[in-house]
Structure 1
Amino acid sequence: MLRTMSNMLINRLNSLMSQRGISANRLSLEATGARDTVRKILDGTTKNPRIDTLLKLAAVLDTTPQYLMGEEEASNGQGEQRSTLREAPPLPTRAAMPLDVPVMGTAAGSHTRGAFQFEGGVVDYVRRPPALTGARDIYALFVEGTSMEPQYHPGDLVYISPHKPPRLGDTVIIECKDGETSPQEATIGVLRRRSEKIVVIAKHNPPAEIEINRDYIKSLHKVLTTNELFGI
């Protein structure tokens, strides 16, 4: 039965992506912020996606998780899963998510620091996740480089809030002062320590800690988690 449900999910994902004119990569980014979520489902790497993943995919595809899983064809043995799906909090459709979150930068080539370049203006817009309705000054960046793998991969979309205070252990974006006219550089990492003089962030690949003098820091903003984006 698990294989039947998995095949149904794959078939319906392929059908809906074709109907909506959306690629697996784009569906993954808009639904989860990761680039390979759908690919792993389609190639069988992920055989039993989590409920919150199904909710997000369904929202982008303007459908329901019940339809994706072929629930109307499930046997009585799937009753418990059907109940779980019905009780999950509803998400708005993709069309109901405003396309108004600015992407404020493009990635630079620093794999050690994971730097971004703020171009001084908006380079794109992405959809506003449900839990960010009414949130002020939210912006987004696309991750480039491998310094934060496996937490973030190149091309992953991250949403940043300048008003939510980061705590130790949170992923943060640090924007650095880089002269009056040159583009502002920023780096992504996990907040490890901070004092009046320095901020220390961690990278994953390779494992390293980066110490940044506060004199060179323009801003320190929190990268929002999946739960914060979707209110789950």
Structure 2
Amino acid sequence: MTELGDNPIVLRIDARLKELGLSREAAAVQAGLSRDAIRNLAREPNRKPRGSTLERLADVLRVPPGWLLTGHDAEQDRFTQTADFSPSPATQPTRNDVPVMGTAAGSLIHGDFEGFAMDGPIDYVRRPPALVDAKDLYAIYITGDSMSPEHKPGDLRFVHPHRPVQPGCTVIVQTRRWNDDPGQAYIKTLVRRTADRIVVQQINPAATIEIPIEHVHTVQRILTINELFGV
């Protein structure tokens, strides 16, 4: 067994991930799979995924499923007719309609935040299985390592604006300093809220940060893997 990608399917997956600038974990989550799905596949050189899994990954990687399976586009029709890899109707992917609203950095630099603007969709990704009917769901891509290893560069994170936010949750904090300020957004761990400020933490470098409440526009919860899959 190996994690280095001796499985030929994983070699092709990794090649496309490099071209798209995605991590294994980000691609797996976008495909509606567990974040370790590709890594687990890489551990077994002769393992072939289920047809539904292959189709989900192929959709995220923007390649034919047959190419992932064999390396040849012409094999796609034969792939879809092979009993061992036929997709299960119960596991068909859900619709690609969740907007990616930005790219989240968030380290503490010179006493201020490095964040990202929520200025409209930059991409659309697959809706997670447990959130088919969730309203106002959106996603962000992680850049930088300020929240690593919990949130690593390239990871995709889903944000549910209507889920309750509690201390210990990872959150997106959106700030505005004046009425016409387009605002910035930051990924942090919520420590507490008081009448006049919110207190958040980041991992790298370790820091506890206080933000005056008058600058806070919204605090929204990032969902866990269990919440994405209804576990």
> Separation in 1 of the partners of 2:131 and 2:55?
15
Q: Kindly tell me: are residues 205 and 138 of structure 1, through their superposed partners in 2, closer, same or farther at Cα, counting changes over 3 Å? A: same
Report SS of the residue matched to 1:186: strand
Q: Kindly tell me: are residues 30 and 40 of structure 1, through their superposed partners in 2, closer, same or farther at Cα, counting changes over 3 Å? A: closer
* Identity in percent: 34
What letter matches 1:105 in structure 2?
Answer: G
Q: Kindly tell me: are residues 164 and 170 of structure 1, through their superposed partners in 2, closer, same or farther at Cα, counting changes over 3 Å? A: same
User: How far did residue 114 of structure 1 move?
Assistant: 4.8
Partner of 2:57: 61
> Separation in 2 of the partners of 1:91 and 1:7?
32
Structure 1: gaps of 5 or more residues: 49-53, 63-89
Partner of 1:175: 174
User: How far did residue 154 of structure 1 move?
Assistant: 2.0
Structure 2: gaps of 5 or more residues: 45-49, 59-88
- Of 4, 7, 10 in structure 2, the residue corresponding to residue 10 of structure 1 is 7
> Separation in 2 of the partners of 1:7 and 1:116?
33
1:23 aligns with 2:17: yes
> Separation in 2 of the partners of 1:142 and 1:91?
28
User: How far did residue 210 of structure 1 move?
Assistant: 0.8
The answer (yes or no) to whether the contact 1:114–1:188 under 8 Å persists in 2 is: no
Partner of 2:159: 160
1:230 aligns with 2:229: yes
Partner of 2:70: none
The answer (yes or no) to whether the contact 1:172–1:220 under 8 Å persists in 2 is: yes
RMSD of aligned Cα (Å):
3.9
> Separation in 2 of the partners of 1:152 and 1:91?
30
The answer (yes or no) to whether the contact 1:178–1:185 under 8 Å persists in 2 is: no
Report SS of the residue matched to 1:164: coil
**Equivalences for 1:52-201 in 2 at 5 Å?**
60-61=56-57, 92-93=91-92, 96-107=93-104, 111-112=107-108, 113-119=113-119, 121-201=120-200
The answer (yes or no) to whether the contact 2:25–2:155 under 8 Å persists in 1 is: no
Query: What do the CA deviations read for 1:36-72 (whole angstroms, capped 9, x no partner)?
Result: 9577558x7xx48xxxxx9x9667237xxxxxxxxxx
> Separation in 2 of the partners of 1:145 and 1:176?
20
The answer (yes or no) to whether the contact 2:104–2:187 under 8 Å persists in 1 is: no
The number of aligned residues is 189
What letter matches 1:10 in structure 2?
Answer: N
The answer (yes or no) to whether the contact 1:59–1:92 under 8 Å persists in 2 is: no
The answer (yes or no) to whether the contact 1:174–1:217 under 8 Å persists in 2 is: yes
Q: TM-score, normalised by structure 1?
A: 0.66
Partner of 2:204: 205
Q: Kindly tell me: are residues 152 and 41 of structure 1, through their superposed partners in 2, closer, same or farther at Cα, counting changes over 3 Å? A: same
User: How far did residue 153 of structure 1 move?
Assistant: 1.7
The answer (yes or no) to whether the contact 2:130–2:230 under 8 Å persists in 1 is: yes
User: How far did residue 105 of structure 1 move?
Assistant: 2.1
Partner of 1:70: none
User: How far did residue 97 of structure 1 move?
Assistant: 2.0
> Separation in 1 of the partners of 2:193 and 2:130?
29
Q: Kindly tell me: are residues 12 and 155 of structure 1, through their superposed partners in 2, closer, same or farther at Cα, counting changes over 3 Å? A: closer
